[in-house]
């Protein structure tokens, strides 16, 4: 499945700019839906019609053959009628992608050019009578969400994001260092934060570490974090925290779990928050879901869409048992990007070679607790012609 998406996404990216099309996720979703992920009758047997493109004279020049197939058309009253239609035949998936752009490159579809919002693109193409399904936009938006297809949209260069990440409190041992129980919030949030940053950077995103280590109070920590966040034009702010209040230090066999806060249900961070929750739940933690809060300082005052991740509970033995910073960080990164990065620790720095200890051979003639006896022996040896040295230890 992801191979199919990768393949079609790269072809769409290759040809879309020539036709003035700026958003890719809705087109990938159309292919997923119309071709049943490349398995439908319109695709197999060398037909290669991934978009259900109907045959129209000269409408798409790259196809010069058609085939006939039953198709269900939805009428405005919601009922369906099955009819036999003529569809374009293509030699390959690549030809079909070119065909899609040729097919839509007529004046009726001019409203697709320059659109960057996936939903708007779908509204427009539906208005152009591309499809008859009443729920066309909704169905395709669900496909986009399900497979995180907006990751293929080209917002900044090659779909790279600018992401601010911070651990939510002062470091351990200082004032305002967060919850302390079986594990310490400040320490674990920093470990997760560092690994999230490492992974996001490995995926090519620009990451700013907005963690604050020198707050003079909790509100000062928050104020400084927000100042650091707002110093960058970012696509997303991520605040990493651990929760407390489970009061289950001995472990009752149940995870208390994870929750992610966003400022409002309309926040652009909401989609990311839902996926982060699901990803953390997939490694065993209970999902307490995405929560809306207008009272959290960071969510309220940051400019970019923001989310606050309460990874799990520091005072739940079950959560602590499940928890390790690497898989927690991987889940967060998976939720944001849809991608996974190896958690292998970065290669150990090469240790400098241990200094070679050369053997040392001493010749000793005596050891004395009384200094005078030692000096007497030294004199005796010197008189005999030896270089005698006295060493006190």
Q: Which residue is nearest to Zn ion (CB)?
A: 241
Contact stretch for Zn ion (CB under 5 A) within 99-107, 112-120, 167-175, 285-293: 167-175
Among 38, 52, 178, 215, contact with Zn ion (rule: CB under 5 A) = 178
The distance of closest approach from Cβ of residue 286 to Zn ion in the complex, given in angstroms and rounded to an integer, is 18
Given the rule CB under 5 A, which of 101-109, 161-169, 328-336, 350-358 is the region that contacts Zn ion?
A: 161-169
- According to CB under 5 A, which residues from 130 to 149 bind Zn ion? none
Instruction: List the x/- string, 233-272, binding to Zn ion by CB under 5 A.
Output: --------x-------------------------------
* Cα-based distances in Å from 164 to 56, 142, 210, 352, 356: 49, 27, 6, 35, 47
Q: What is the C-alpha to C-alpha distance for residues 115 and 108, in angstroms, rounded to an integer?
A: 15
Q: How far apart are CA 28 and CA 34, in angstroms?
A: 10
* Closer residue to Zn ion in complex, CB, 38/178: 178
Phi, psi (rounded to 5 degrees) for 202: -60, -30
Distance between CA atoms of residues 376 and 152, nearest Å: 90
383-to-54, 221, 362 alpha-carbon distances in Å: 116, 77, 20
Distance of alpha carbon 28 from alpha carbon 50, whole angstroms: 10
Query: Which SS3 state, helix, strand or coil, does residue 69 take?
Result: strand
| Helix, strand, or coil (residue 7) | helix
Which part of the chain contacts Zn ion (CB under 5 A), choosing from 12-20, 171-179, 279-287, 299-307? 171-179
Q: How far is the CB of 173 from Zn ion (least distance, A)?
A: 16
Of 91-99, 175-183, 300-308, 319-327, which part binds Zn ion (CB under 5 A)?
175-183
Helical segments of the chain, H only:
2-15, 25-34, 93-104, 118-127, 136-146, 185-202, 218-230, 269-281, 297-301, 317-322, 325-337, 371-383
Comparison of 63 and 186: residue with beta carbon closer to Zn ion: 186
Q: Which listed range, 168-176, 194-202, 311-319, 372-380, lies at the site for Zn ion (CB under 5 A)? A: 168-176
The helix (run of H) or strand (run of E) holding residue 391 is: none
- Asked if 193 touches Zn ion (CB under 5 A), the answer is no
Report the nearest approach of Zn ion to the CB of residue 211 (Å). 13
What's the closest the beta carbon of residue 178 comes to Zn ion, in angstroms? Answer: 5
Q: Please, which residue, 12 or 189, has the CB nearer to Zn ion? A: 189
Residue 31 vs 225, nearer CB to Zn ion: 225
Question: Two tokens at 24?
Answer: 């890719």
Q: Shortest distance, CB of residue 179 to Zn ion, whole angstroms? A: 6
Size of the residue set binding Zn ion (CB under 5 A): 3
The residue within the footprint of Zn ion, chosen from 38, 52, 118, 168 (CB under 5 A), is 168
Residue 171 vs 178, nearer CB to Zn ion: 178
Greatest distance between any 2 Cα atoms in the chain: 125
Please say which residue, 102 or 243, places its beta carbon nearer to Zn ion. Answer: 243
Residues 74 to 133: which contact Zn ion by CB under 5 A?
Answer: none
Reference 86, options 108, 63, 106; nearest CA is 63
Q: In which residue are the tokens 């927000």 written? A: 226
Q: Which stretch binds Zn ion (CB under 5 A): 78-86, 103-111, 137-145, 178-186?
A: 178-186
Least Å distance between CB 335 and Zn ion? 19
For residue 99, the minimal CB distance to Zn ion (Å) is: 53
Determine the Cα–Cα distance for residues 179 and 312; give it in Å rounded to an integer: 11
**Smallest distance from Zn ion to CB 168, Å:** 4
End-to-end CA distance of the chain: 76
CB of 62 to Zn ion, least distance (A): 57
Q: Are 283 and 322 in contact (CB under 8 A)?
A: yes
Measured distance CA(34)–CA(50) in Å, rounded = 6
Q: Which is nearer to Zn ion, 8 or 176 (CB)?
A: 176
The CA distance from 179 to 244, in Å, is: 6
Binding to Zn ion (CB under 5 A) within 6-45 occurs at none
Query: Toward Zn ion, which CB reaches closer, 41 or 301?
Result: 301
* Distance between CA atoms of residues 36 and 125, nearest Å: 20
- Closest to Zn ion by CB, 169 or 275: 169
Binding site for Zn ion (CB under 5 A): 168, 178, 241
């Amino acid at each position: 499945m992801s191979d199919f998406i990768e393949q079609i996404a790269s072809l769409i990216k290759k040809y879309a700019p020539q036709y003035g099309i700026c958003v890719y996720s809705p087109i990938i979703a159309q292919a997923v839906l119309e071709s049943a992920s490349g398995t439908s009758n319109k695709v197999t047997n060398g037909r290669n019609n991934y978009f259900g493109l109907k045959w129209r004279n000269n409408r798409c020049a790259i196809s010069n053959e058609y085939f006939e197939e039953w198709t269900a058309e939805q009428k405005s009253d919601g009922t369906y009628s099955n009819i036999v239609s003529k569809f374009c035949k293509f030699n390959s998936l690549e030809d079909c992608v070119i065909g899609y752009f040729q097919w839509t490159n007529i004046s009726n579809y001019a409203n697709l050019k320059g659109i960057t919002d996936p939903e708007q693109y779908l509204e427009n193409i539906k208005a152009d009578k591309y499809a008859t399904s009443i729920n066309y936009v909704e169905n395709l938006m669900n496909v986009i969400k399900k497979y995180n297809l907006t990751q293929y949209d080209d917002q900044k260069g090659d779909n790279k994001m600018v992401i601010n990440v911070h651990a939510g409190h002062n470091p351990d041992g200082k004032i305002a260092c967060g919850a302390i129980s079986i594990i310490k919030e400040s320490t674990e949030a920093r470990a997760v934060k560092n690994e999230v940053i490492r992974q996001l950077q490995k995926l090519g995103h620009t990451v700013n570490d907005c963690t604050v280590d020198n707050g003079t109070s909790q509100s000062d920590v928050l104020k400084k974090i927000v100042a650091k966040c707002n110093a960058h034009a970012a696509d997303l702010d991520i605040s990493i925290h651990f929760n407390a209040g489970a009061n289950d230090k001995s472990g009752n066999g149940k995870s208390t779990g994870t929750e992610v806060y966003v400022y409002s249900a309309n926040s652009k961070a909401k989609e990311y928050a839902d996926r982060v929750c699901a990803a953390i739940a997939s490694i065993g933690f209970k999902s307490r879901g995405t929560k809306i809060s207008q009272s959290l300082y960071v969510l309220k005052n940051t400019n970019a869409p923001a989310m606050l991740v309460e990874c799990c509970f520091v005072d739940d033995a079950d959560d602590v048992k499940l928890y390790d910073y690497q898989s927690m960080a991987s889940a967060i990164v998976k939720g944001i990007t849809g991608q996974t990065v190896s958690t292998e620790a970065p290669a150990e720095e090469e240790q400098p070679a241990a200094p070679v200890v050369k053997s040392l051979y001493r010749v000793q003639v005596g050891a004395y607790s009384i200094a005078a006896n030692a000096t007497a022996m030294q004199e005796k040896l010197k008189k005999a012609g030896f270089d005698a040295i006295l060493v006190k230890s």
